[in-house]
């Protein structure tokens, strides 16, 4: 009797546990998103995405001056019924979509600013905007694709708003100003948004970003786990010599010759002193100022450059070696030198675990085309500041038209940079399904 009773109780417990498992597996909280529905909604949003993109392209604004752009973005988001906050980091806009069920928060980010570039692309919506930049009147152009980033993220917000009741969690849409760098004397961009408490107020668990172009093939998606884009440091070197007549160089200390030796000496740091098999490094001097007359050796030479790196420890090591190289070369000639290094952007690092988790999503979105693994990009992205705070993943989207050789097209920041607009639908789908899949997986 006791044995039979235990058997019955054991069977009841098994039945209850089995029922619980079935209930969990069929619960909407764990159900996969309806990808057919999401794809259809993304396709339906395409015309509006194109309209948004063309408006932004025709009316670009420089960093920290994205006033009308921000108004357009905020109005569109409010029309979707989202909670909108404006004025973050001067002109930034964020919107919160709260799903129908509890869950984590995902952040999706797009940048808003244009560049001081005069457009040379023959488009009916080409920019004719001019603006003041460093006391000069310049043309203004979305030459880096930020117009498409905003349009695609607005498209994703529209799609996800339509299925908000099915989402287990929330989505934070970040429209960030000044990705290209704040004007001299100002702060801006992702760093300022974070400094003003963006992640303290909203507390997303992960963040996804996207960049179009970068000479990627038509209709392609690419992602690289780990370091993906370079850290950037600003380098300034002042060499102090002794002025003398050009006919009597022994009467002084020539800072131009010393500066030339420094330029060459800096190149041996990356090529001869650092382990290039671990990560590449670049030191470039782009500006060299000295003297006022052909037959006078001046008392000072000033150099300005950029440093690119991918590994934080080796970045510190390289900074120390730059100081040593510059100061010792100057001392060997009887000169002195000052070195200033300003850290501008950290390396953009895709969280390996998050990237592995979301790769199947990108493969599904990409369809028959494989998800590419791009080479390291020595350009920088201030998305890196977000990815220092929480796990992040930054992907690339091809801008070329079918049949075009992407490697031969004008690159980002060129006055001839152009985008094949149908690629934007792929970008909308990527934004949408990255967010939906992450919420469903949690």
What amino acid positions are annotated as catalytic residues? 345, 421
Cα Rg of the chain, angstroms: 27
Report d(CA 114, CA 370) in Å as an integer: 31
**b/e map of 123-140 (b: 16 or more CB within 10 Å)?**
eeeebebeeebeeeebbb
Q: How does DSSP classify residue 225?
A: S
Distance in angstroms between the alpha carbons of the first and the last residue of the chain: 45
Nearest to 186 by CA among 68, 63, 342: 63
CA 31 to chain CA centroid, Å, is 31
Q: Token pair for residue 73?
A: 């973005």
Angle, alpha carbons 312-315-321 (nearest 5°): 150
Structure tokens at 42: 């993304």
How many other β-carbons are positioned within 10 Å of the β-carbon of residue 221?
Answer: 24
Torsion of CA 220, 226, 228, 229, to 10 degrees: 160
Three-class DSSP category at 90: coil
- Write the DSSP assignment of 246-286 as a string of letters: TT-GGGSB-HHHHHHHHHHHHHHIIIIIS-TTT---EEEEE
β-strand partners of 282: 308
List of residues 6+ apart from 178 with CB closer than 8 A: 63, 64, 66, 89, 90, 113, 188, 189, 192
Widest Cα–Cα separation across the chain? 117
Report in angstroms the alpha-carbon separations of 174 from 84, 101, 369: 10, 22, 29
How far is it, in rounded angstroms, from Cα 375 to Cα 215?
A: 11
């Amino acid at each position: 009797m006791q044995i039979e009773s235990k058997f019955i109780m054991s069977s009841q417990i098994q039945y209850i546990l089995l029922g619980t498992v079935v209930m969990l597996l069929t619960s909407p909280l764990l159900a996969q998103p309806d990808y057919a529905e999401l794809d259809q909604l993304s396709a339906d949003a395409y015309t509006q995405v194109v309209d948004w993109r063309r408006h932004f392209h025709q009316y670009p604004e420089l960093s920290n001056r994205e006033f009308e752009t921000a108004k357009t973005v905020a109005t569109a988001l409010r029309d979707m019924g989202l909670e909108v906050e404006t004025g973050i980091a001067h002109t930034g806009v964020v919107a919160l979509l709260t799903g129908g069920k509890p869950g984590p928060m995902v952040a999706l980010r797009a940048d808003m600013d244009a560049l001081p570039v005069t457009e040379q692309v023959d488009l009916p919506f080409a920019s004719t905007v001019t603006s003041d930049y460093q006391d000069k009147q310049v043309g203004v152009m979305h030459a880096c694709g930020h117009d498409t980033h905003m349009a695609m993220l607005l498209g994703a917000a529209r799609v996800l708003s339509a299925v908000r009741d099915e989402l287990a969690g929330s989505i934070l849409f970040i429209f960030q100003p000044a990705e290209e760098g704040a004007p001299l004397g100002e702060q801006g961009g992702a760093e300022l948004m974070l400094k003003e408490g963006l992640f303290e107020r909203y507390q997303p668990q992960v963040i996804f970003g996207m960049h179009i172009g970068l000479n990627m093939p038509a209709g392609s998606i690419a992602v690289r786990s780990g370091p993906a884009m370079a850290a950037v440091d600003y380098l300034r070197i002042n060499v102090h010599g002794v002025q003398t007549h050009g006919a009597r160089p022994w009467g002084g200390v020539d800072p131009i010759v010393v500066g030339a030796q420094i330029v060459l000496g800096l190149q041996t740091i990356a090529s001869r002193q650092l382990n290039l098999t671990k990560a590449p490094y670049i030191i470039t001097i782009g500006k060299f100022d000295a003297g006022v007359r052909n037959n006078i050796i001046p008392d000072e030479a000033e150099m300005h450059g950029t440093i690119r790196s991918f590994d934080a420890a080796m970045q510190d090591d390289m900074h120390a070696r730059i100081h040593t190289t510059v100061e010792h070369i100057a001392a060997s000639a009887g000169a002195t030198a000052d070195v200033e290094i300003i850290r501008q952007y950290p390396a953009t690092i895709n969280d390996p675990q998050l990237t592995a988790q979301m790769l199947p999503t990108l493969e599904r979105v990409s369809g028959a085309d494989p998800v590419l693994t791009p080479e390291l990009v020595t350009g920088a992205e201030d998305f890196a500041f977000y990815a220092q705070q929480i796990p992040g993943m930054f992907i690339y989207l091809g801008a070329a038209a079918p049949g075009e050789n992407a490697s031969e097209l004008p690159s980002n920041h060129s006055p001839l940079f152009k985008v094949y607009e149908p690629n934007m639908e792929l970008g909308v789908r990527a934004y949408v399904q990255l967010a939906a899949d992450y919420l469903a997986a949690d």
